[in-house]
Amino acid sequence: MGIANNLLQIKSTLPEHVTLVAVSKTKPVSDLMEAYEAGQRIFGENKIQEMAEKWQQMPKDIQWHMIGHVQTNKVKFMAPFVSLIHGVDSLKLLQEINKQALKNNRIIDCLLQIYIAEEETKFGLDEEELASLLSSSEFHEMKNIRIVGLMGMATFTDNKDQIKKEFLHLKTIFNKTKEPKTENCQLETISMGMSGDYQLAIECGSTMVRIGSSIFGGRN
Ligand SMILES: *Cc1c(COP(=O)(O)O)cnc(C)c1O
């Protein structure tokens, strides 16, 4: 077994249009390097400080994805290098990302997180909040962010029908929202699916899966 084998095994099963984010949170740089040596270039982390430390230590052709809940006051620490922020769930957060991106003279790609689960602990916008964010004048004025897709997390359950229903809900919202494309809103990506449910997510339209434990092993 081992990290490289796990990674290559999973990659061989993914359709070509699906991007693999290797979720490396809590894992040491040596583990990430094993995946890197096996060809992986996209890593997902859920804590900004941990991601920044790994970014400093690792090769610069890695794309770093922030997959966790983002606190507004920490955006500045990742703005110089983050390649995609998955969990954007408010206009206020988007405004801060836009501001920090401008300071760094770049455009930062973001996904809007949609609330699809029945668990109250999960974050995200509902369909109405998504529509009102995208139609607001504040949003249209932002020139240093680009919304490139949507992200969602299904309920933590063994009930496949429930998970499927939630994934299809996200796909439906995506289809309704993807036109018209504008300068800062070009929906292409649906980020859904983790170790336990990524095959189902792909069947339901996912184009980006976030896989941690099936590659790196369990976390404490
Ligand atoms: C940890 C995490 C994952 C990966 O979970 P695994 O079950 O280990 O594959 C995916 N997405 C998010 C948002 C996470 O926090």
Q: Give the position, in ligand 1's atom list, of the atom nearest the Cα of 25.
A: 1
Q: What is the mean pLDDT of residues 193-209?
A: 97
Ligand 1: atom nearest CA of 214 is 9
Q: Tell the burial category of 191 from Cβ atoms under 10 Å away from its Cβ (0-12, 13-18, 19+).
A: buried
Mean pLDDT over residues 33-61, rounded?
98
Sign of the Cα torsion 217, 46, 86, 103 reads negative
Residue 114 confidence (pLDDT) above 90: yes
The whole-number average pLDDT for the span 93-110 is 98
Residue type, 118: E
| Structural contact between residues 98 and 145, judged by C-beta atoms closer than 8 angstroms | yes
Summarize pLDDT for 19-42 with one digit per residue, the tens.
999 999 999 999 999 999 999 999
pLDDT of residue 118: 82
Q: Measuring CA to CA, which residue among 73, 27, 31, 28 is closest to residue 48?
A: 73
Query: What kind of fold does domain 2-213 have according to CATH?
Result: TIM Barrel (3.20.20)
* Ligand 1 site, residue 194, Cβ cutoff 6 A: yes
pLDDT over 90 (residue 154): yes
Angle between helices 3-13 and 29-37 (to 10 degrees): 50
Which of 7, 27, 67 should be mutated for ligand 1, with most atoms under 8 A from CB?
A: 67
Ligand 1 mutation target, pool 194, 195, 200, 208, most atoms within 8 A of CB: 194
Q: What percent of the chain has pLDDT over 70?
A: 98
Q: Give the residue-averaged pLDDT of 61-78.
A: 97
- Ligand 1 proximity of 193 Cβ (cutoff 6 Å): no
**Range of weakest confidence among 94-103, 119-128, 168-177:** 119-128
Nearest CA to ligand 1 atom 11: 210
Mean pLDDT of 36-53: 98
The answer to whether 152 and 189 are in contact (CB under 8 A) is no
Are 170 and 111 spatial neighbours (Cβ–Cβ below 8 Å)?
Answer: no
Task: Show the tokens assigned to 90.
Answer: 């408010």
pLDDT per position as a tens digit, 167-198: 999 999 999 999 999 999 999 999 999 999 99
**CA of 213, closest atom in ligand 1:** 8
Residue 121: per-residue pLDDT = 65
> What's the CA-to-centroid distance between 24 and ligand 1, angstroms?
9
Q: What is the pLDDT of residue 117?
A: 87
pTM over 0.95: yes
The number of the ligand 1 atom at minimal distance from the alpha carbon of 151 is 13
